[in-house]
Amino acid sequence: TSNSLIQLSVPTFFIKGLIIPFFFFLGKRYPLVFGTPKSSKSIIGKSNPLWQYILDHSLREHPILKKLRLLTADHPWSKMMVSCDQAQLMANLVKLIKAKKVIEIGVFTGYNTLNMALVLPDNGRVIACDINEDYIKIGKPLWKEAGVEHKIDLRIKPAIQTLDELLASGEAETFDFAFIDADKESYNEYYEKCLRLIKRGGIIAIDNVLWSGRVLKPRKDDLATQSIHHLNEKLHRDARVNISMLPMGDGVTLAFKL
Ligand code: SAM
Ligand code: CA
């Protein structure tokens, strides 16, 4: 019996004692390849020196945007704010396609609203959709301070209603860019309405498409994850757009309307 006990414990010891620490070591040493994909923020998270390196070597943040980012950091829901490197990518896209009309679905404290308004021409417009005015009160004075308040058209009501109103008033195919970042259960509806509202060549950016890794195993009772996962699957075969899914922030898909 003592021999068979030893025989049984050797493979267990081998697995637990060597293989697990070996993969743990690989995960730490090569996080991009072997790291546990719990979320994109754990791939290049804030504790990873590469995150700081990325910011140090790419972020060009307007001083009032920085001020709003730091103000938002004190908010109990600060994690809702888009990552600053991702916001910069969206501003670059808005500039690249010479966008004039953009939609933001989910404003929170208005960091990305300000970010986009700063790069729009003087006659450009951000239709900013949210249901909660309290969060926006934090950023609104800074929109004014940055001199872009006149470019922001804030609509406080459910975003679906705002999108329907835009469609009803004949604004289909007049927008250049949309950022979808509100309640995840409505993502498919937001996408379909935005696709009608933007022009050919326009871009829809869909946020949180990795949802902290939960899309890998969507639970049946987790409606937010189900909704994001279904839209990810649909977008993969959607012939109306070209797409790129980027592991930036919490994952962002760019859909380019054909
Ligand atoms: N885009 C923001 C940024 O760059 O910091 C973050 C948006 S935050 C993740 C989501 C926002 O969606 C919240 O401010 C919330 O009030 C808003 N929201 C939730 N449900 C909504 C709805 N049905 N219509 C419009 N906004 C909604
Ligand atoms: Ca988000």
| 37 vs 132: CA distance, rounded Å | 32
* Share of residues in the chain with pLDDT > 70 (%): 83
Nearest to 204 by CA among 258, 130, 254, 239: 254
The answer on pLDDT for 135 being more than 50 is: yes
**What average pLDDT is seen over the chain?**
88
Q: Which atom of ligand 1 is closest in space to residue 179's alpha carbon? A: 1
Token pair in block for residue 199: 């022009």
pLDDT of 27 reads: 44
Mean pLDDT, to the nearest integer, of 105-118? 98
Q: Quick one: which ligand is closest to 212's CA?
A: 2
Helix (H, G, I), strand (E, B) or coil at 251: coil
Mean pLDDT, to the nearest integer, of 243-253? 97
The answer on pLDDT for 22 being more than 80 is: no
pLDDT of 45 reads: 74
Complex confidence, ipTM? 0.99
CB atoms within 10 A of CB 97: 15
| 174 vs 53: CA distance, rounded Å | 38
C-alpha angle 138-143-57 in degrees, rounded to nearest 5:
95
Q: Would you say the CB of residue 111 lies under 6 angstroms from ligand 1?
A: yes
Which residue's CA lies nearest to atom 11 of ligand 1?
106
pLDDT of 43 reads: 54
pLDDT of 12 reads: 53
The answer on pLDDT for 37 being more than 70 is: no
Which residue's CA lies nearest to atom 14 of ligand 1?
108
Handedness of CA 115, 120, 123, 129 (dihedral sign): negative
pLDDT of 11 reads: 52
Mean pLDDT, to the nearest integer, of 225-239? 98
Q: Would you say the CB of residue 108 lies under 6 angstroms from ligand 1?
A: yes
Asked whether 161 and 127 are in contact (CB, 8 A), the reply is: no
Tell me: the pLDDT tens digits for 64-104? Answer: 999 999 999 999 999 999 999 999 999 999 999 999 999 99
Question: Domains of the chain (ranges plus CATH)?
Answer: 62-257 (3.40.50.150)
The answer on pLDDT for 40 being more than 80 is: no
Q: Quick one: which ligand is closest to 116's CA?
A: 1
Q: Would you say the CB of residue 45 lies under 6 angstroms from ligand 1?
A: no
Note residues around ion ligand 2 (Cβ under 5 angstroms).
181, 207-208
Q: In what order do the strands lie in the sheet with 125-130?
A: 152-156, 125-130, 101-105, 175-180, 198-207, 252-257, 241-246
Q: How far is the CA of 180 from the centre of ligand 2 (A)?
A: 8
Q: Would you say the CB of residue 131 lies under 6 angstroms from ligand 1?
A: yes
C-alpha angle 44-50-56 in degrees, rounded to nearest 5:
120
Tell me: the pLDDT tens digits for 152-209? Answer: 999 999 999 999 999 999 999 999 999 999 999 999 999 999 999 999 999 999 999 9
pLDDT of 14 reads: 53
36 or 73, which is more confident: 73
The answer on pLDDT for 150 being more than 80 is: yes
Q: Which atom of ligand 1 is closest in space to residue 186's alpha carbon? A: 23
Q: Would you say the CB of residue 158 lies under 6 angstroms from ligand 1?
A: yes
Do strands 198-207 and 241-246 pair parallel, antiparallel, or not at all (unpaired)? unpaired
H/E segment holding residue 175: strand 175-180
